[in-house]
Amino acid sequence: MPPKLAAYLTQKTAVIEQALNDYLTFSPDVPRELAAAMRYAVLNGGKRIRPALMLAVAELLSVAEAKILPVACALEIVHSYSLAHDDLPCMDNDAWRRGQPSCHKKFGEAVALLAGDTLQALAYEIIARDCPPESALELIKNLGAASGIYGMAGGQALDLSGAVKTLPELQKMHALKTGALLQYAVTAPLCLAETTEQVRRALQDYADAVGLAFQIKDDILDAVGTPETLGKTPGKDAGKNKATYVTLLGLEKAEELLAAETNKACTSAKIFGKENLLLAMAQYLLERKN
Amino acid sequence: MPPKLAAYLTQKTAVIEQALNDYLTFSPDVPRELAAAMRYAVLNGGKRIRPALMLAVAELLSVAEAKILPVACALEIVHSYSLAHDDLPCMDNDAWRRGQPSCHKKFGEAVALLAGDTLQALAYEIIARDCPPESALELIKNLGAASGIYGMAGGQALDLSGAVKTLPELQKMHALKTGALLQYAVTAPLCLAETTEQVRRALQDYADAVGLAFQIKDDILDAVGTPETLGKTPGKDAGKNKATYVTLLGLEKAEELLAAETNKACTSAKIFGKENLLLAMAQYLLERKN
């Protein structure tokens, strides 16, 4: 990774971790197990790709960090709730997450379920309380759309339905399941900035390409990674006869498509100059090992 | 029930059902099972106590129905998501709800879980989109607080922990698990109205008393009701050795406390005149059979 991006990510990740920790610090009279499970589901070493992307876009649009940080945390909290629920036995039944026991393995299914529910409520509360009032309602509407039936949860339902067999079906499923929240990461700062239609469109194109690249990379890592590098169980989708970019295209073609989408993302990002954080982020997502 | 209230409830319930149905009508390209489960979880014959209470308070405060209806629907949607999740095997494991198979019995656990998650997102989206912008953020903050770790879900965690043994513990648990959303039903219209501190306090006292009475009545019905009248399995809490108002106080004392709290509620409600909807609602909640 270019040293400038590495430094940026290190610095921003620290800012995000601190803010998440503050948001997940509760008064002492709350049910302890639930509070601990909420903290565990969020503060257990995620890569913070979504909030880091959001902060990078905000910086390029000259949106103050204090204004975007609550949304970035809300987004990461929604992402984390979805992981706690997806790992449950009735869903993907995954015992490992981020190299540690998944939330229900540590706290039991009931508490993990409630932790996810409570995290989702907290995310909306944070935006309503801490974002500039003139933008907060749009940010909430868009987060609801990105995470609900027309977004993440809709994609998860398609995935679970077993009906995803072809490449177009796979793309539609991932555009919802993973793409919608990544799209939100890139476009939420637009609610807080005045900008041109050209920049708006470039960011949307960037988000589409990065979202697709992200999922292809996930499928490749799932096919070639180990539990040690991934921090979770590899090969699960293929083992369940689920379609992935690797099973449908083969490893080589999947890697070609990943490179092509990363290129598309970079082309869109060039509107911000020859060297910028979004180019570096796309490159980082291409090269990541987990 | 007094005929005036009966007519009011019939009319308002129809308005609420129609609005809920509209909010749960999706474009045809969404995952069908998920959409069906969301509709089932909400539109399967609930009594609509919470939204009806909210509409009654709004009327007394001269808040237009169009302004309060989206919040009333959002509240009922949050209540319904919590029932779909509470009925799951890892939580209360209940196969019946409102006289029909519970959501996971009909759609499977994964879809019921996702339906709950998606309903929660929808609730916040509805308030952000359809409530007057100058009040929507406060309504969202308060709904998050009422349903999260400091409210409903926190109460559910206490209930599941098995640590509730004494009357004060039982009251604290129910103040969160059931009371917080009932409190929201009564106090949310205050965000949309200009009123006096006296009225505000009277509504809060009314909500406290009605919330407590509601739960005592639930415990009494759970002890003396049948599956036919209740539409769900009776005797479950007592069967699990969970403390209830009936197990702690005995049936007779529980009924005395119910009457006393209903009286308190009515005393608070008299600020709106000798005959009013809140008096009638408190009486209805006292006499209900399910």
* ipTM at complex level: 0.95
**pLDDT per position as a tens digit, B44-57:** 888 899 999 999 99
- Whether residues B125 and A144 touch (CB distance < 8 A) is answered with yes
Domain extent, residue A53, equals 3-287
In this complex, the residue of A118, A124, A153 whose CB is nearest that of residue B153 is A118
B224 shares contact with chain A (CB less than 8 Å)? no
B240 shares contact with chain A (CB less than 8 Å)? no
Q: Say what the pLDDT of residue A236 is.
A: 72
Total number of domains in chain A: 1
**Which burial class, exposed, middle or buried, applies to A283 when counting CB atoms under 10 A from its CB (0-12, 13-18, 19+)?**
middle
* Residues in chain A within 8 Å Cβ distance of B150: 26-27, 30
Burial B66-84 (b: 16+ CB within 10 A, else e): ebbbbbbbbbbbbbbbbbb
A178 shares contact with chain B (CB less than 8 Å)? no
DSSP A176: I
Token pair for A281:
């982020």
A211 alpha-carbon distance from chain centroid: 9
**Which burial class, exposed, middle or buried, applies to A246 when counting CB atoms under 10 A from its CB (0-12, 13-18, 19+)?**
buried
B162 shares contact with chain A (CB less than 8 Å)? no
Question: Would you write out chain B's pLDDT as a tens digit for each of its 290 residues?
Answer: 778 888 888 999 999 999 999 999 999 999 999 999 999 999 988 889 999 999 999 999 999 999 999 999 999 999 999 999 999 999 989 888 888 999 999 999 999 999 999 999 999 999 999 999 999 999 999 999 999 999 999 999 999 998 899 999 999 999 999 999 999 999 999 999 999 999 999 999 999 999 999 999 999 999 988 777 777 777 776 667 789 999 999 999 999 999 999 999 999 999 999 989 999 999 989 988 88
Please state, in angstroms and rounded to a whole number, the distance separating the CA atoms of residues A110 and B263.
37
Q: Could you give phi then psi for residue B235, rounded to 5 degrees?
A: 70, 10
A35 shares contact with chain B (CB less than 8 Å)? yes
- Give CA separation, A44 vs A15, A26, A41, A127, B76, in Å: 15, 17, 6, 22, 33
Contact by Cβ (8 Å): A173, A99: no
Q: Which of A36, A80, A21, A27 is nearest to B150 (CA)?
A: A27
- Whether residues A35 and B149 touch (CB distance < 8 A) is answered with yes
- CA R_g for chain B: 18
Q: Which of A216, A96, A86 is nearest to A153 (CA)?
A: A86
Question: Would you write out chain A's pLDDT as a tens digit for each of its 290 residues?
Answer: 778 888 888 999 999 999 999 999 999 999 999 999 999 999 988 889 999 999 999 999 999 999 999 999 999 999 999 999 999 999 989 898 888 999 999 999 999 999 999 999 999 999 999 999 999 999 999 999 999 999 999 999 999 998 899 999 999 999 999 999 999 999 999 999 999 999 999 999 999 999 999 999 999 999 988 777 777 777 776 667 789 999 999 999 999 999 999 999 999 999 999 989 999 999 989 988 88
Instruction: Enumerate residues 51 to 90 of chain A having a beta carbon within 8 A of any beta carbon in chain B.
Output: 81-82, 85, 88, 90
- Alpha-helical (H) ranges within A30-176 are 32-42, 49-60, 65-86, 103-107, 109-130, 133-147, 152-161, 167-174
Contact by Cβ (8 Å): A56, A185: no
pTM of the model: 0.96
Interface test with B, best of A94, A125, A135, A159 (most B CBs within 10 A): A125
CATH assignment at residue B58 = 1.10.600.10
B135 shares contact with chain A (CB less than 8 Å)? no
* Residues in chain A within 8 Å Cβ distance of B87: none
Length of chain B: 290
B43 shares contact with chain A (CB less than 8 Å)? no
**pLDDT per position as a tens digit, B232-272:** 777 776 667 789 999 999 999 999 999 999 999 999 999 99
